[in-house]
Amino acid sequence: MKKYLIETHCHTDESSNCGKMPAAEAVRLYRSLGYSGMLISDHLHNYTFRTLKKSNPNPTWEEKVEYFLKGYKSALNEAKKYDDFKVYLGAELRFDKNDNDYLIFGLSEEKLLKLNGIIEMRPEKGLELVKSLDCAVIQAHPFRDDCVVMKPGICHGVEVYNGHSTESRNDIALEWAQKFDFIMTSGSDFHGGTEPNGGIYVDVMPKNEDELRDIILSKNFELKTNEEF
């Protein structure tokens, strides 16, 4: 078994409408459970900005990014207190077009600022833009009821273990990924209220988002799943 456990799919109360646990609390919880790090993957789609629009009806993209980063920044501040836990910026991107979700690895604040207008783009075009910024794209839970699996060649891989909902049909996602030899990830899709149950085991802790993306692209990791998987 590889040494370090990293969450790849986690939402915060600050930046995801459906998130129920403040980011700092989540950091403490994950650390207490033996995780060494976590990707904060708040929802990057228009639903996220509804709360912001109550106080700011016409936010600029910069203001939206600032709102989106709240959970990540809070997690980062908490993680700075420990020398054995790291927080990485990620996103779970959804376009207006449909209810598909895409986990993004290798993100930065600068890259996010370059994504103005992405949510309204055609998914294929938007994902091309994300990939052109050296990010890895993993389709999250592609076999949930409201999702449509993306045709091969668009994403780098698929999430084969999603710990949030049995409707994710992880068994089918796994078969699909194996058929095309895709990168396969595992994530809790943590929203608070339940115990984290997914993630990846790595040999060396990535120092930053770019190194985590490189690990994902190299397939040099193992999956944490529940026993039934």
Which segment (68-76, 91-99, 124-132, 147-155) binds Zn ion by CB under 5 A? Answer: 91-99
Toward Zn ion, which CB reaches closer, 189 or 209?
189
Does residue 220 sit in helix, strand or coil?
coil
Q: What residue type is assigned to position 207 of the chain?
A: K
Considering the rule CB under 5 A, would residue 172 count as an interface residue with Zn ion? no
Toward Zn ion, which CB reaches closer, 18 or 172?
18
Angstrom distances, CA of residue 107 to CA of 75, 125, 136: 16, 18, 9
Plot region of 11 (φ>0 → left; ψ -120 to 50 → alpha; else → beta): beta
- Closest-approach residue to Zn ion (CB): 18
Toward Zn ion, which CB reaches closer, 18 or 33?
18
CA 196 to the chain's CA centroid: 14
Contacts (CB under 5 A) with Zn ion, residues 188-207? 189
Toward Zn ion, which CB reaches closer, 38 or 62?
38
Interface pattern 129-158 for Zn ion (x via CB under 5 A): ------------------------------
Dihedrals φ, ψ of 7, to 5°?
-75, 140
Q: Closest distance between Zn ion and the C-beta of residue 202, in Å?
A: 21
Alpha helices in the chain (DSSP H): 23-32, 49-55, 61-68, 70-79, 109-113, 123-132, 170-180, 209-218
Which segment (46-54, 84-92, 153-161, 200-208) binds Zn ion by CB under 5 A? Answer: 84-92
Toward Zn ion, which CB reaches closer, 8 or 36?
8
Q: Closest distance between Zn ion and the C-beta of residue 39, in Å?
A: 11
Residue 17, both tokens: 């409408």
Among positions 2, 18, 84, 152, the unique one binding Zn ion when judged by CB under 5 A: 18
Q: Is the Cβ–Cβ distance between 85 and 189 less than 8 Å?
A: no
- Separation of alpha carbons 207 and 193, rounded Å: 29
Q: The tokens 């986690």 sit on which residue? A: 10
Considering the rule CB under 5 A, would residue 92 count as an interface residue with Zn ion? yes
Considering the rule CB under 5 A, would residue 165 count as an interface residue with Zn ion? no
Which segment (44-52, 66-74, 92-100, 212-220) binds Zn ion by CB under 5 A? Answer: 92-100
Which segment (14-22, 24-32, 53-61, 80-88) binds Zn ion by CB under 5 A? Answer: 14-22
Q: Closest distance between Zn ion and the C-beta of residue 14, in Å?
A: 13
Give per-residue burial for 117-146: e unless 16+ CB within 10 Å, then b.
ebbebebeebbeebbeeebbbbbbbbbbee
- Separation of alpha carbons 174 and 20, rounded Å: 28
Residues binding Zn ion (CB under 5 A): 18, 92, 189
